[in-house]
Structure formats: C-alpha cells, structure tokens
C-alpha cells in the first residue's frame, strides 16, 4: 500500500500536525526500526527519547502530545489501536483456503459439513462431528466424535479438539492446542492414585481466540466454559470445570486450577497462577507472576506471591526494599546499647 499522511489520518480519525500531510507513506515499523517513508506509533512514555531519535516520516501520537519530534504527527485518541487499523492496510493479503476436502483427509460417518468448509491435508474428522459454514480445519488437525464447530472458525494445523467439545462462531485456535483433554483428577486409595472419570465437555463461545500450545481440560462433569470474546495467549493451562467470563485476557503461561471462576473483563498477566475453587471478580487485574490463593473482588488490582491488593503489595514491597537500611540501623543500635546487654535477643 502507498498512501499520504492525510489519507492515513482520515482513516483513523486523526489530526495532522508538525509537518506535511502530503508526504507519502510506504510502510510501517516500530520506533526502533522505522526509516524515512514509514509510519510508527508512540503508545508508551518510556519510548519518548527513542521517538525523538526516530527517522520515521510520520508517527501516531496522543491528542495531547506536546513534544517536538522530526516526524509529522497524526494525533489520535489511541495510537496503538490506530496503528493496528493502519497495519491492516499494509499487511499482505490473508491466506485463502479453497473450500473442499483434501484427498488425504479422513472423514468419519455422519459428519455434517457446512457450505464453504475447507478440510486441509491429513486432517481427521471423527464420526458425528458438525462443522459450520466457511470453517477451515488445518493440516493434521483432529476433530473428535460429536464435536461441534460453528461458522467461520479457523483451526490452524496440528490442533486437537476432542470428543463432544463445542465451539461457537469465529473461534480461532492456533497450532499445538488441545481442547477437551481429561481433567487432572485422582483419589488416593489403597496405596495408589485412582483416576476419576472426566465425563464433561468444553464449551468455547463466539469470537474467542486461543493461542498456540494451550490446554483446556474437559470438565469432570458439566462443562469447562470459555465465554464470548475472551483472548488466550500461548502456553496457558485451564483445568476442568473452570469458567472464564466474557472478554477476558489471559497472558502467556497462566495456569488456572479446577473449578475456579473468572468474571467478565478479567486480566491475568503473564505466569499468574490461580488455586482451585475461587472467584475472580469482573474487571479484576492480576499482575504478572502472582499466585492467587483466595477470591478477588471486582475491579481490584492484585500482585505478588501470595497475591495481595495493590495497596498492600506496594506497602510490603516498600518495607522489603528498606530491609538493608533497617538491618544497618539495628546493628548501629546494638553498638550503642552495648554488646553485653542481656536484654537483646540473640542473633538468629
């Protein structure tokens, strides 16, 4: 694509400032990599100095941006979102899959395929599966018995969707993910671990996107449920009977134990771990590497191991960061009091 700065500004509802809107833009890049003729964006204050050194011809900046930069500014409400909109215009055309069944695919009995479905090489669709219109099943993917997939789903290569799983419309599942594997349930009896049957299923609602190498376990009974619009990053583990509400964000390496419930618009940052049988309220945010051992009220921000409300976490962090100085003061106090003072407790 090739467009003027004025044309790009109109596309995202932006205002041109600090340069010529007639300059043509031929590509997009990050602040660190952008060169003349390209557009970048400024969405984080920590990159201000990099932006001032940047060689891009144009930059998307917040509407209240007041710094001097060499690039022509396009002032918008949300530079990151505007950049995503423009990026679509410069991106290569999406891969298009021809409808039909590849000769190497294996299709079971009583399988229902909607109009425009594309089954790629070596895919396996087992008996009784239902695939909605315009859905793509990637190479070497597996759809188990009586699984149901809605319209316009994109199942990338090497995905496993086990028996009786239910996917809504426009669900994207990236390579290596397994949906519907057995939940991890055992009872210890007579000196050994006895497996508890996992007879439930997984339900994934409309417009969910699931990254690579995610595992979502089937319920012990009932369902494991991922609700509408939720986005799951790579390498996430969701255990049996978990409910994830609408429009949640689960970042890489999150682990959710069995029967925990997340409300709507919850954010779990990278490497967060949740114990089982707790609830995370609507719009709560759990900071990276936190370990959550009890329920979190709606709209609160929690951090740490064990996770605490952000105010308590910041206080504890401040105290911890002062331990070295406190230790020095205690030693000085011991010197003042005298080393022979028997009232002081022995040093452990």
Tens-place pLDDT, residues 214-250: 999 999 999 999 999 999 999 999 999 999 999 999 9
What residue segments make up the domains of the chain, in order of their start? 3-90, 100-310
Do 161 and 180 touch, CB atoms closer than 8 A?
yes
State how far the alpha carbon of 287 is from the alpha carbons of 243, 254, 310, in Å: 20, 11, 9
| Marked catalytic residue, from 102, 240, 301, 309 | 240
Dihedral of alpha carbons 234, 137, 238, 249, sign: positive
Euclidean distance between CA atoms 273 and 287, whole angstroms:
10
Average of pLDDT values for 294-310? 95
Euclidean distance between CA atoms 55 and 155, whole angstroms:
40
Asked if pLDDT for residue 338 goes beyond 80, the answer is no
Average of pLDDT values for 138-160? 98
Closest CA to 216 of 204, 207, 231, 206: 204
Q: Select 100-310's CATH number: 3.40.50.300, 2.160.10.10, 3.90.1150.10, 3.40.50.12500.
A: 2.160.10.10
Confidence of residue 346 (pLDDT cuts 50, 70, 90): low
The percentage of residues in the chain with a pLDDT greater than 70, rounded to a whole number, is: 97
The better pLDDT of the pair 313, 175 is held by: 175
pLDDT score recorded for residue 319: 86
Question: What angle do the packed helices 323-337 and 310-321 form, to 10 degrees?
Answer: 50
DSSP bridge partners of 143 = 125, 161
Tokens representing 197 are 């049957």
Confidence of residue 330 (pLDDT cuts 50, 70, 90): confident
Asked if pLDDT for residue 92 goes beyond 90, the answer is no
Average of pLDDT values for 288-309? 96
Euclidean distance between CA atoms 204 and 84, whole angstroms:
26
Please state which architecture CATH assigns to domain 3-90: 3-Layer(aba) Sandwich (3.40)
Angle at 174 between CA 168 and CA 176, to 5 degrees: 120
Q: Residues 174-200: pLDDT tens digits?
A: 999 999 999 999 999 999 999 999 999
Closest CA to 181 of 206, 144, 156: 144
Confidence of residue 339 (pLDDT cuts 50, 70, 90): low
Model confidence pTM above 0.75: yes
Do 123 and 105 touch, CB atoms closer than 8 A?
yes
Euclidean distance between CA atoms 88 and 1, whole angstroms:
10
Do 179 and 161 touch, CB atoms closer than 8 A?
yes
pLDDT score recorded for residue 76: 97
pLDDT score recorded for residue 342: 55
Asked about 240 being catalytic, the answer comes back as yes
CA 127 from chain centre, in angstroms, equals: 32
Euclidean distance between CA atoms 129 and 163, whole angstroms:
8
pLDDT score recorded for residue 193: 97
pLDDT score recorded for residue 105: 98
pLDDT score recorded for residue 336: 84
Mean pLDDT of the chain: 95
3-state secondary structure the chain: CCEEHHHHHHHHCCEEECCCCCCEECEECCCCCCCCCEEEECCCHHHHHHHHHCCCCEEEEECCCCCCCCCEEEEECCHHHHHHHHHHHHCCCCCCCCCEECCCCEECCCCEECCCCEECCCCEECCCCEECCCCEECCCCEECCCCEECCCCEECCCCEECCCCEECCCCEECCCCEEEECCCCEEEECCEEEECCCCCEEEECCCCEECCCCEEECCCCCEEEECCCCEECCCCEECCCCEECCCCEECCCCEECCCCEECCCCEECCCCEECCCCEECCCCEECCCCEECCCECCCCEEECCCCEEHHHHHHHHHHHHCHHHHHHHHHHHHHHHCCCCCCCCCCC
Q: Residues 41-87: pLDDT tens digits?
A: 998 999 999 999 999 999 999 999 999 999 999 999 999 999 999 99
Residue with tokens 């920590």: 46
Residue with tokens 């891009």: 56
């Amino acid at each position: 694509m090739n467009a003027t700065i004025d044309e790009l500004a109109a596309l995202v509802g932006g205002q041109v400032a600090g340069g010529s809107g007639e300059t043509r833009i031929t590509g997009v890049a990050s602040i660190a990599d952008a060169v003349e003729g390209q557009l970048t964006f400024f969405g984080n204050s920590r990159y201000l100095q990099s932006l001032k050194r940047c060689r891009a011809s144009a930059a998307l900046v917040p509407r209240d941006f007041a710094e001097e930069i060499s690039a022509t500014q396009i002032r918008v409400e949300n530079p990151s979102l505007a950049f995503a909109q423009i990026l679509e215009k410069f991106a290569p055309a999406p891969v298009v899959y021809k409808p039909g069944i590849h000769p190497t695919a294996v299709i079971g009995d009583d399988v229902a395929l909607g109009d425009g479905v594309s089954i790629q090489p070596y895919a396996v669709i087992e008996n009784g599966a239902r695939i909605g219109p315009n859905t793509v099943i990637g190479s070497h993917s597996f759809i188990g018995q009586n699984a149901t997939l809605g319209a316009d789903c994109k199942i990338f290569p090497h995905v496993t969707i086990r028996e009786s799983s239910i996917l809504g419309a426009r669900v994207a599942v990236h390579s290596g993910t397994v949906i519907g594997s057995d939940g991890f349930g055992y009872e210890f009896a007579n000196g050994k671990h006895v497996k508890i049957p996992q007879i439930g299923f997984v339900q994934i609602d409309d417009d969910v996107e699931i990254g690579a190498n995610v595992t979502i376990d089937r319920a012990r009974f009932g369902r494991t449920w991922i609700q509408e619009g939720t986005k799951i990053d790579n390498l996430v583990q969701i255990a049996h009977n978990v409910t994830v509400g609408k429009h949640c964000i689960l970042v890489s390496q999150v682990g959710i134990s069995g029967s925990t419930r997340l409300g709507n618009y919850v954010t779990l940052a990278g490497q967060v771990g949740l114990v089982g049988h707790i609830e995370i309220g609507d719009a709560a945010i759990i900071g990276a590497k936190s370990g959550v051992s009890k329920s979190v009220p709606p709209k609160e921000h929690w951090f740490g191991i064990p996770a605490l409300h952000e105010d308590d976490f910041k206080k504890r962090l401040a105290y911890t960061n002062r331990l070295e100085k406190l230790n020095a003061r205690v030693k000085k106090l011991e010197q003042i009091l005298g080393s022979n003072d028997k009232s002081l407790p022995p040093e452990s």
